[in-house]
Structure 1
Amino acid sequence: MNLVSKLEETASQKPEKPACLFQDQYMTYEELAGKIKAFANGLEDRGLKKGDHLALLLGNTPDFVIAFFGALKAGIVVIPVNPAYTPSEIAYMLKNGDVKAIAGIDLLIPVFESLHGSLPLLEHIIISQTAENAPSTEDPQLRLKMTTFTKMLRPAERSRTYPTLSKDDTAVILYTSGTTGKPKGAMLTHQNLFSNANDVAGYLGMNEKDKIVAALPMFHVFCLTVCMNAPLMSGACVLIEPQFSPASVFKLIKSRQATIFAGVPTMYNYLYQYEHGKAEDFATVRLCISGGASMPVALLQTFEQTFDVTILEGYGLSEASPVTCFNPFDRGRKPGSIGTNILHVENKVVDTLGRELPDHQVGELIVKGPN
């Protein structure tokens, strides 16, 4: 089992179940699975093969979900990139990542125009239309490489055979800012991603009745696993928020009766400070998740008291797909800590020789597991 096969299983069992919501439009699991298949076909039609690399420079939209799963179905390695990065930062990741194709928003066309001459491996650019007056290009060579996302979703005219996906095949390369030098690409396999999504979903009790707010950026591994993959492995619905704002989050949670919200501490602080936010707006939320940075205990306690919710802090790292620890929600938790091992994952603190240290000693945190 992998991310794609699990999603397709849900689509066959519950085709009319909403998979995601974006700008008041629901997409069912059957519709999503169909578009994923069409996108995979489009990649194949353009000559991409198993093992080739596709960069995603897409915002929080259904196109990100479709391209991510469509690429995996075709055996293509996905490289999520922050579309707000500078051209030089984008160029580094595209070059270092041996990118053969890009799926990006139309507002980045000038960036692609400036870079494509320096990217000899780049053969295709798939444009996701997000703006009415988006920029265009007069470069004939670039225009030959470009196609629209809509064209990628045309129904197949013939039956297809998709590559066999091994659990050890690389699925995603995540560029993580190391402590030294330039960002490094962490290579994650199909097993890494599927196991973490499945185990996170199980640990948090996600189910088909849940509606998870995806206001974190989808290109980041926190949102990728906790707000997209884990819910979709559970038959839940992903409420896609194009960009975070307190007003839009409160409105979305209340109008769509969201049950899970995930964010970084800064987001919780903005929500708490928002003068029009009310406890009743969070009435349907059964669980809040915080990660990415340590949350001040005072903020955690004040937020919980104000909105009558429970916030669970967790910890992870890109190389671990990413979640390794969570505070438990079914028994005592420890505010200010990163919690305990999630399913199938083991953490320990060791000294410089790799020997496990006793309680209350400072050392290095190491982790192992299928993720």
Structure 2
Amino acid sequence: MNLTQQLQETAKNMANKPAYYFMDQMSTYAELDGAVTKFAAGLEQLGVKKGEHIALLLGNSPHFVISLYGALRLGATVIPINPIYTPDEIGYIIKNGDVKSVVMLDLLLPLAEKIHLALPKVENYIICETPQGKSSDVDITRLSVYPKLKSFSQVVASGSLSYKGPELDHDDVAVILYTSGTTGKPKGAMLTHKNLYSNAKDIGDYLNMSENDRVITTLPMFHVFCLTVALNAPLMNGATIIIDPKFSPKEIFRMVDEYEATVFAGVPTMYNFLLQYAEAYGGNLSSLRLCISGGASMPVALLNGFEKKFNVMISEGYGLSEASPVTCFNPLDRPRKPGSIGTSILNVENKVVDELGEEVPVGEVGELIVRGPNVMKGYYKMPEETAATIRDGWLYTGDMARMDDEGYFYIVDRKKELIIVGGYNVYPREIEEVLYDHPDVVEAAAVGVPDPNQGEAVKCYVVKKNPDLTEAQLLEYCSEHLAKYKNPSTIEFIEELPKNTTGKILRRALKAQVLQNQ
């Protein structure tokens, strides 16, 4: 069984059950499955073959769901990309990921025009129509990318409901998720049909998801947290997803109330905004049976304040792209422990080990490693990195953790130097490489600093060669080369960066200085 087969089964058994609501419009499971089948058939008519790579540059929408499941039904490999990435970032992933087709919003037509000449292997740009895009003054027939443009609606319309699709092996790569590495270059985690199906099934069972649930899907669908917890798991269990294109506390309260939502999944930043909004304007979440938090550690004070205000439990979990992503969650049938990421979910094993890979005693700190059917196949075209990360069947997360005598895990420290901004992973090296490309920058270092809204923000320390270079100029430069959430919030110019005896820049010393000055 895989995700698209499960969708077909659900559509047979619950044809008229609402699969999703979007912009207050409902689609049944039969309608969703039909659109998925026709999109897969339409892709085949375009010449897309099993095993080819398709990138999705889409926000939360039915387009994303239909494209994802349609491509998987065809046997293609899907590469979701954050649509707010810069052209450089998007171009790198498309090129490194050997993408041959791109499904994208019509609002991104200028992007396609800008990058397509540098991406000769891309044969199709499938454009998803939006109300905002239709009002554009762009004459697409005058664009140089025009011969490669296809209409999403036309691709669906050209497909047949009788399309069956090829046989899929559970070890075939279904999705490649690009996650930034410490080298600054994103790495593509290859997730198989088995990886995605097993994690969606196991987390759905763990959280007691059923056809009676109505799940708020406001986390970005291109992110693995949403992909499994708020998209695949609900659809596997016949639940209804309420698709929110952009997080807004006011809109979340409206949707929960109007649709009597039962499950909300978000990052700590979202919970903070919901709590602040409710305290200022009021808000009711009484229909929710469960809130799910991940992406970053939730401050215990925020967790307690939210639960007291809304009388709903927040279950914190833990995951990473390489594990599809969930490995731990606070259980629903036992006491929840604030500050803990919970216990191992079904069929997944977590343990804490020392530098030799030996399990440490209960309560001691070591590296968290994971084993299970959810662990990735490896990094795309990176065999050495794969071998370093997966050893003897265990995925080494790089996160330091401890386990108590009841099997609850606690993250003690994040991956070295990792900055988490609003639930997104930001690696310092990626930012520093952009800064080093500036002609007036001698040295640079990026660290995470506490931020009341995003959890952490990026602060950079720079040694400059041109005394006239200003912070504003450098911030503007970064905004041209980095996604918004990766941009530094502040840049401080200093005479010299701290280094060890070998000349390595000591980010931890800068971080300690920041914390000391708080």
TM range (shorter): over 0.9
Give the drift of 1:120: 1.6
Distance 1:136 1:267 in 2: 39
Q: Tell me what 1:324 maps to.
A: 327
Change (3 A) 1:251 1:159: closer
What letter corresponds to residue 11 of structure 2 in structure 1?
A
Moved more, 355-364 or 285-294: 355-364
| Regions of 4+ moved over 6 Å | none
1:238-253 maps to which residues of 2 (within 5 A)? 238-253=241-256
Moved more, 126-135 or 63-72: 126-135
Q: Tell me what 2:231 maps to.
A: 228
Q: Tell me what 2:118 maps to.
A: 118
Distance 1:318 1:161 in 2: 30
Distance 2:139 2:8 in 1: 36
Q: Tell me what 1:204 maps to.
A: 207
Q: Is the 8 A contact 2:294 2:318 kept in 1?
A: yes
1:149-164 maps to which residues of 2 (within 5 A)? 149-154=152-157, 156=159, 159-164=162-167
Give the drift of 1:157: 5.3
What letter corresponds to residue 181 of structure 2 in structure 1?
G
Identical-pair percentage? 59
Q: Tell me what 2:419 maps to.
A: none
Distance 1:303 1:247 in 2: 16
Change (3 A) 1:149 1:156: closer
Q: Tell me what 1:180 maps to.
A: 183
Give the drift of 1:133: 2.0
* Greater strand content: 2
Q: Is the 8 A contact 1:265 1:291 kept in 2?
A: yes
Q: Tell me what 1:44 maps to.
A: 44
Q: Tell me what 1:133 maps to.
A: 135
Q: Tell me what 2:301 maps to.
A: 298
Q: Tell me what 2:267 maps to.
A: 264
Give the drift of 1:362: 1.6
Aligned length: 369
Larger radius of gyration, structure 1 or 2?
Answer: 2
TM-score, length-scaled by structure 1: 0.97
Distance 1:205 1:288 in 2: 13
- Alpha carbon RMSD of aligned pairs, Å? 1.2
Q: Tell me what 2:96 maps to.
A: 96
Distance 2:93 2:205 in 1: 33
Distance 1:76 1:254 in 2: 38
Say which of 317, 340, 353 aligns to 2:343. 340
Deviation track 1:254-284 (CA, whole Å, cap 9, x = no partner) reads 0110000000000000000002232xx2111
TM-score, length-scaled by structure 2: 0.70
Q: Is the 8 A contact 1:78 1:171 kept in 2?
A: yes
Question: Quick one: higher RCO (CA 8 Å, sep 6+), 1 or 2?
Answer: 1
Distance 2:282 2:294 in 1: 22
Moved more, 233-242 or 134-143: 134-143
Distance 1:352 1:70 in 2: 43
Q: Is the 8 A contact 1:110 1:137 kept in 2?
A: no
Give the drift of 1:161: 4.2
Structure 2 residues without counterparts, runs of 5 or longer: 375-518
What letter corresponds to residue 29 of structure 2 in structure 1?
Y
